[in-house]
Amino acid sequence: MIAEHERSTDRIYDACAAQYGFDTDKTLSARLKLELASARIRPEHHVLDVGCANGLYMVALASRCSAIVGIDINDRMLELAREALQRVGADNARLHKQSASSLGFADASFDVVYSFSTLLLVPDTLEALRQIARVLKPGGWAVLDITGRYNLSRLYWDWYYRRNGHFGVNAYAYREIAGHLARLGLVIEQAHALGFTDQWRYIPGLHKLKALDRLFHAPGERDLDYRLSNHPWLFPLANRWYLVCRRA
């Protein structure tokens, strides 16, 4: 029997699948994800995308590696990913319907594993992280995004998903998630924060002030939100942390 969270997640993903774009240059968060993952991938590597959605990052990264595998629980997203990978001729790519917390791969199968916009929606995030650590080769890289607990964005999206029948979102304090990763043998080599300033979007009245978006996200390699979110005092209050971890 499909779990209720999977049915509700399917409904949510099915609704947004048609609008799910392929522009990895549209936002700093998308550019940062691609930058961090691509910097660790070598031509001989086997790569795993946990929560591949429509194949957005697989399309961008397939040509950089020997083989790339994507897993997702949503049929419509996998269908879109298959079509997109066929369009770019990525014959080194494979797709599987799997849960992030139950990866059907042997231990130490991949050189690089990345997971974007997924771990917050997996009921057992820690099991998903254990699975990622298990299938990653010693010395391999995991590139992950983690949702921060102390941010208004987390409150809003938790409410949104609960309203749609999902359990909500999983979020952590930075020291908490760093401790979990360390116990799994995943050593954080880099940590990038985003979204501290975007909390204005979730304050009634302020959310209409579009000029704030232009202020905090002015064009540039690293915008004002990035610089403020990575300030030592504000880093724990970020919406997301993008972590590059090395498997011990």
Look at residue 69 and tell me if it is in a domain: yes
Return the biggest CA–CA distance within the chain.
52
Non-local (6+) Cβ contacts of 146 within 8 A are 119, 120, 172, 177, 240, 241, 243
Look at residue 134 and tell me if it is in a domain: yes
Check whether 30 has a pLDDT greater than 80. Answer: yes
pLDDT tens across 178-230, in order? 999 999 999 999 999 999 999 999 988 887 788 888 899 988 779 999 999 99
Look at residue 204 and tell me if it is in a domain: no
pLDDT tens across 93-145, in order? 999 999 999 999 999 999 999 999 999 999 999 999 999 999 999 999 999 99
Look at residue 56 and tell me if it is in a domain: yes
Domain count, the chain: 1
The domain spanning residue 155 has which CATH number? 3.40.50.150
Best CA proximity match to 146, nearest among 27, 29, 18, 242:
242
pLDDT tens across 42-79, in order? 999 999 999 999 999 999 999 999 999 999 999 999 99
Look at residue 199 and tell me if it is in a domain: no
Look at residue 227 and tell me if it is in a domain: no
Look at residue 148 and tell me if it is in a domain: yes
Best CA proximity match to 237, nearest among 147, 177, 157:
147
For the entire predicted model, the pTM comes to 0.92
Structural domain of residue 93, as residue ranges?
4-194+237-247
